[in-house]
Structure 1
Amino acid sequence: MEPIPRVYRVEGMDCADCARHVEEAAKGLPGVESAQASFASGKLFLVLKDPKAERELERVLKPLGYRLRPAEGGTRGWPGPWPWALLTGGLLALAFLLAQAWPQWGTYGYALAALVGVFPLARRALAGLRQNPFSMQALVTLATLGALLIGAEAEAAVVVFLFLLGEVLEAYSVDRSRRAIFALGSLLPRRVLRLEGDGLHEVPLEALMPGDRVRVPQGERVPADGLVLEGEAEVEEAAFTGEPLPRRKGVGERVYGGSLVVAGSLVVGVERPPLEGFLAQVERLAEEALLRKSRMERLVDAFSRRYTPAVLLLALFWGGVLPLFLGDFSRHLYQALTLLLIACPCALVVSVPAAIAAGVARGARLGVLFKGGGALERLGGVRHLALDKTGTLTLGEPRLVWVEAFGVSEAEALALAAAVEAGASHPLARAVRERAQGLLLPEAREHRVVPGLGAFAQVEGEEVGVVRPSVRDLPPELAARVAALEAEGKTLALLVKGGKPLALLAFADAPRLEAREVLEAVRRLGLKPLLLTGDAEAPALALARALGLSPEQVRPRLTPEGKLELVAALDREGGVAMVGDGVNDAPALARATVGLALLQGTEVALRAADAGLMGLRALPRAIRLSRLLRGVVVQNIALALGLKGLFLLTTLLGLTGLWAAVLADNGALLLVTLNSLRLLWARV
């Protein structure tokens, strides 16, 4: 039987430790080939050898407090154990009132509140005892029962209520972050105006298919990825590129589903189904990124696995061994029960994945699609920035920028060159035809292209060619002009008729409008930019001058192997981010500390890279986001460990008790989660 992939949303999986328990439970079942649980996305990814394993998994997870739900569904109401928290809180309030009116009965009221509140925790602890005997539910259950045993009924009730309330708040904040990650899909309109033979028809979004034509009026969102067929409009793409200003879109230009038509109206030809377009790609990459743990996340996981047993051993020593020598069994047991609560590493375990999840979500809204948390974490630490030239810093399409005619008008020369190039498909031919649009072209016949020489055709009985200047013997003045233009980085072609030069055509691959601004931004961030290209030195230096780079920052005539060797050397010298878009950039992108590919580049480059950029302007944002993330991770770890260490010390000194330990644990968890969530709205 072929392996069967399945994806589920897991209700109740509200922390990284929960995700680990769900994953281990799934992996332990026969018929499950592989399982991966993501705390950040709240999903379980399965590959099954036997379909019956699904029902068995549901049976195993239910007692642990987890429910499998369809992946495409959404949560309803408040997540977490809010009914139990509400019930326990009510009983605690009643017990307090009872204690004020009849003190002798107040003890029973507190004990009842504690037992009711601890019931769902004890059930989950028992169900998962074989998998994890040191779960938070088990620790809180032991601490509560121990407190009841030594007569601390009120504190036991407060401990359980605070823990349940913390779980509800934690589940709510995690649910908010998950919704932020996958909120892009909500940008698509529910109904659209489809153009049919007899006019406009309003249809559901799901009815759209590739090839359909849709009308997008002002104030509406584009329903699917496609090309503009009619009209012109200002289109805002800020929701997933981070660009606040709308861009003018006209016929032949691409628009993304979810972008907003601010002014004007468009007719768009649908290229991909709405639910399989760019926004779906963003969400899929974000989800894949959340499944890949960063180096810091792995280190924290390893530490937390050792931290809990160490504190438990200390609690056992404090409550079971010290009283044998110092007496006062009740006080030492109370402190040991408090240590049990401090032993939970929840805040520490969540500190990194919560920040990574928020960072990946924010990156997606800034036009940066990270494939893993590790790439987002590493980017902020690199010292060098290597950038490909053609298609990355330039538009990747040569433009005819200058025509010098000899004995004929510029229009005549252009029309003649366009007639000859009508039979060619190379980029220079397209540039000539584009520049000659609107001109009346002479009739040309017998088109032929001679590799290494140029294009030729018969025009009015004479052979006319667009050739490389180097294949002709040129007059001294023209040769000097050719040399000067080539030194400026321009590509040249010579229009000849009957062997006589008629015009010199100069082509240039124009730099992207934002390239200089982006390079200045990364320099302010302390990175050292380096231009890598396979082009000759002259055009490379010309582009460098236009972008404000020095000759020392240019590496021309590089083969793909040369780029790879240079990137490997920079990786050893403090780390390097490589930005590229072509097939020849793929080896260097894969070898770099972090590889970033422009999304309009080749599929090979995108597969090799660690992240995709919607545009060059997203690059400095990605670096600033990574640095902010690194700071948030350090703050989270400091908060989690600092509060644990503080209350560990105050507990041993007898200054704090059970309720303070739970308050510290839940407080640290909420602080860590809220500190991570601020990445969702950070300005970078």
Structure 2
Amino acid sequence: MTSAITLDLPVPGISCGACAGRVTRALTDLPGTADINVNPITKRAHLRLDGATLPQVQEALTQAGYPAELITTRLAIEGMSCASCSGRITRVLSARPDVAEAQVNLATHRAQVTHAPNLTPEALARIVTDLGYPAQVQQPDQPAAPPPDEAPALRRAFLTALALTVPVFVAEMGGHLFPAFHHWLHGLVPTQVLWLAQLALTLAVLMGPGRRFFTTGIPALMRGAPEMNSLVALGAGAAFLFSTVVTLAPQLVPVASRHVYFEAAAVIVTLILMGRWLEARAKGQAGEAIRQLIALVPEHATVLRDGKPEQVAVADLRPGDLVRLAPGERVALDGVITEGSGPVDESMLTGEPIPAAKTPGDPVTGGTVNGSSALTFRVTATGADTVLSRIVALVEQAQATRLPVQALVDRITRVFVPVVMGLALLAFALWLSFGPGLAEAVVAAVAVLIIACPCAMGLAVPVSIMVGSGRGAQLGVLFRRGDALQKLAEARIVSFDKTGTLTQGHPRVTAIWTDGIGRDDALRLTAAAEARSEHPLAAAIMSEAEGLDLPEALDVTATPGRGLTATVEGQALLIGNRAALEGAGVVPAAALMNEADRAAAEGATPVHLAVEGRHVATFALADPERAEAAPTVAALHQLGLETAMLSGDLPATARAVGARLGIDRIEGGLTPEDKLTTIRSMGKGSVFVGDGINDAPALAAAETGIAIGTGTDIAIESADAVLMSGDPQGVVRAIRLSRAVMRNIRQNLFWAFAYNTALIPVAMGVLVPFGGPQLSPMLGAGAMALSSVFVVGNALRLRRAG
């Protein structure tokens, strides 16, 4: 590694010379930096690292308020087979001063590296390739996809090894099961000939299907970074070499130790190949969620060219194209309806079981399914810009995230393989010193090498994240960051924004009371005046008056916080709250005010109408609660969580809504700053649920922020998790899923650690002095293979979670 590295960092926050000066001071105060030059025109910081690292530089710039703009590169990596592989790649990349963060995922065979612009993506790929793991750069606009399916190749390798191993196993072990078979075989074929045949067949296993262990494991061992393949290569190779010496040069081995273990070497490779094949099949199922999402895009669509329908490949569609959609056909890309109306099934993206009604002007999302009507839509997004592509990218990003719990696993797997090799040498020495002979010492060492399984430990966390985040996508829950899975499982209190989250976000007229005027007349006059207003309550009154013939309003004047005045049909109108009436000298009608007070106590907003100075009507406007809001709160209480509502609405309105929903803690009249203070005071385990746009600061302040919205309006940047639909019950699904994922991870880690802790000593022979058996390397290989399959199989149960 170079002792000094030059960085040229974009710092977009620099807008003047003073900014550049603050950036210069922040970098100068950081030890290990030199030759600092900050240019306010190009908005770049040039410096040399001589001891400092990029993470330290970024931290200093962030604290100064001017974070650098770093590059994130995704790599597809081949050849990783265990936690030691992914751990070594992570350590090498993270050790570079120009890399801010490196995340390598064993389950997805992907790496995500955040680094300085000086370090090109191609250079990163070369670094990983030089370690022995071929890597390729994934372009930013390249659709995410699961790693290639290794199961078919592993199946062929396993079956080939099995065919070659069966004769060796039968020849050597058949006699132990059936002594008559042993006498018959050795009477038919001389022992030396049998051993030579076993040597040839075992060599074919090791040089053919088992070659992968040696070509990967031995170079890794020579580089001083042994991994799982190294253990298999050493174990199977030791058994084979010892047996070969006994067969070809028996004089070199004591008479009492002249036994062959060809069957152990062959069976070890065969069983481990079987385990990897089963593991690859299971991991393929773990990535099924992404494959299903990608498969939602049809291959062809009917586009209108010069008014005539024409079948084209979806890849050839461009924004602005008109696409005809037949009943039951899948929507090809994102767009806007231009012709026709009818239901569209969006359940595969949002989790909503009820189809959404679509009319001209409404958006449609690629991957959804048209109902019974013929529709035409204009394409608005293609490729990586579509909602579906963004969802797939989010799922893959979450799957590549390292949870905090992974740190413990990394520390252990970093030393695991060297420790196992040391224990194997110790077992060999002890058996050689105190055991019957050389053969038993070799068996003990080989058993220790083979039974150890860093794979199970390495897969315990990432495979659960992989399946869990994929399941979340199927439920309409997108984890923008994988660590949200762990944080949500530790949630203690869930806070909601009110408008648009627990309520529908669209006020409507819920009641009209009149005194001396007809209901329709009151509504007609009020709507005529409100037609010139942009207030949200005006839209509710206009919606209620739909179908009525509205006269023209003159001299419309709005007074912020009060209401408006206008002249309609020659009459002077005043529309507003009680303060507006009293301020204009209008005497409020007692009966109408009683109704208004009652409506306000229930969370509605009263709006009064005065005609020619007389109070004649009162409207109650309210933002109705979502039908799912109360069940959501009840379900959170069943999970043992406290609930809160933080609203900018009037305290009385907030209390009324919160009381109807059964919320524990209700606070109204809050400014955005008040919300931030309140959320920060909640401390660890705080969750905030909002619309993700107006509530971005609060979402960022909470330990876990959940943005709630629709599939075509996702506030990705401000939240840790995003709900594709507007259903707040997605919060419950997200918490249940996160708890299931963390429970699954704990089960996997317990198995992985307990397996190695219990069986490595058994393989060393700790039970032999107490009359127990010496573990066969073949049994060790079988147990090791099944341990990884167990971990992946256990994670697959998450496909039914939520």
Q: Structure 2-normalised TM-score?
A: 0.77
1:441-460 CA deviation, whole Å, 9 max, x = no partner? Answer: 10223433222232333323
What secondary structure does 1:448 align onto? Answer: strand
Residue 508 of structure 2 contacts residue 623 of structure 2 at CA under 8 Å; is this kept in 1? yes
Q: CA deviation at 1:358?
A: 0.2
Is residue 2:230 matched to residue 1:142? no
Amino acid at match of 2:524: A
Distance 1:373 1:219 in 2: 35
Q: CA deviation at 1:178?
A: 2.5
Is residue 2:669 matched to residue 1:669? no
1:454-503 CA deviation, whole Å, 9 max, x = no partner? Answer: 23333234443322222222244433333222222111222233333342
The alignment's C-alpha RMSD in Å is: 3.2
Counterpart for residue 407 of structure 1: 516
Distance 1:133 1:55 in 2: 19
Moved more, 604-613 or 274-283: 604-613
Alignment of structure 1 residues 6-155 onto 2, 5 Å: 7-23=74-90, 36-45=103-112, 49-50=119-120, 53=123, 56-57=126-127, 60=130, 64=132, 66=134, 68=136, 75=148, 78=151, 81-82=154-155, 84-95=157-168, 102=189, 103-112=191-200, 113-114=202-203, 115-116=206-207, 117-129=209-221, 133-148=225-240, 149=242, 151-155=260-264
Residue 289 of structure 2 contacts residue 473 of structure 2 at CA under 8 Å; is this kept in 1? no
Counterpart for residue 563 of structure 1: 675
Distance 1:589 1:31 in 2: 31
Distance 2:612 2:434 in 1: 112
Is residue 2:607 matched to residue 1:519? no
Alignment of structure 1 residues 467-486 onto 2, 5 Å: 467-473=576-582, 474-486=588-600
1:639-659 CA deviation, whole Å, 9 max, x = no partner? Answer: 222332332243222432111
Amino acid at match of 2:335: G
Amino acid at match of 1:379: L
**Distance 1:98-1:309 versus aligned 2 partners, 3 A rule:** closer
Amino acid at match of 2:703: T
Distance 1:142 1:565 in 2: 59
Structure 1 counterpart of 2:754, from 611, 621, 642: 642
Is residue 2:779 matched to residue 1:660? yes
Alignment of structure 1 residues 22-421 onto 2, 5 Å: 22-23=89-90, 36-45=103-112, 49-50=119-120, 53=123, 56-57=126-127, 60=130, 64=132, 66=134, 68=136, 75=148, 78=151, 81-82=154-155, 84-95=157-168, 102=189, 103-112=191-200, 113-114=202-203, 115-116=206-207, 117-129=209-221, 133-148=225-240, 149=242, 151-273=260-382, 275-321=384-430, 323-324=432-433, 328-421=437-530
Distance 2:298 2:714 in 1: 32
Q: CA deviation at 1:162?
A: 1.6
Distance 2:226 2:638 in 1: 48
Amino acid at match of 2:784: D
Moved more, 503-512 or 25-34: 25-34
**Distance 1:469-1:69 versus aligned 2 partners, 3 A rule:** closer
Amino acid at match of 1:384: I
Q: Structure 1-normalised TM-score?
A: 0.90
Residue 84 of structure 2 contacts residue 417 of structure 2 at CA under 8 Å; is this kept in 1? no
Counterpart for residue 706 of structure 2: 596
1:52-96 CA deviation, whole Å, 9 max, x = no partner? Answer: 6378458636xx364648665773674555554444333223545
Counterpart for residue 647 of structure 2: 533
Distance 2:709 2:397 in 1: 17
Q: CA deviation at 1:428?
A: 1.0
Residue 228 of structure 2 contacts residue 417 of structure 2 at CA under 8 Å; is this kept in 1? no
Distance 1:51 1:578 in 2: 36
Q: CA deviation at 1:374?
A: 1.9
Counterpart for residue 607 of structure 1: 717
Residue 242 of structure 1 contacts residue 367 of structure 1 at CA under 8 Å; is this kept in 2? yes
Residue 149 of structure 2 contacts residue 280 of structure 2 at CA under 8 Å; is this kept in 1? no
Structure 2 counterpart of 1:487, from 595, 601, 619: 601
Unaligned regions of 5+ residues in structure 1, if any? none
Q: CA deviation at 1:120?
A: 2.7
**Distance 1:514-1:334 versus aligned 2 partners, 3 A rule:** same
Unaligned regions of 5+ residues in structure 2, if any? 1-7, 10-69, 173-184, 244-259, 583-587, 768-772
Counterpart for residue 14 of structure 2: none
**Distance 1:587-1:5 versus aligned 2 partners, 3 A rule:** closer
Moved more, 4-13 or 20-29: 20-29
Distance 1:168 1:132 in 2: 28
Moved more, 310-319 or 667-676: 310-319
Q: Whose radius of gyration is greater, 1 or 2?
A: 2
Distance 2:193 2:709 in 1: 69
Distance 2:360 2:631 in 1: 28
Residue 598 of structure 1 contacts residue 606 of structure 1 at CA under 8 Å; is this kept in 2? no
Amino acid at match of 1:638: F
Counterpart for residue 455 of structure 1: 564
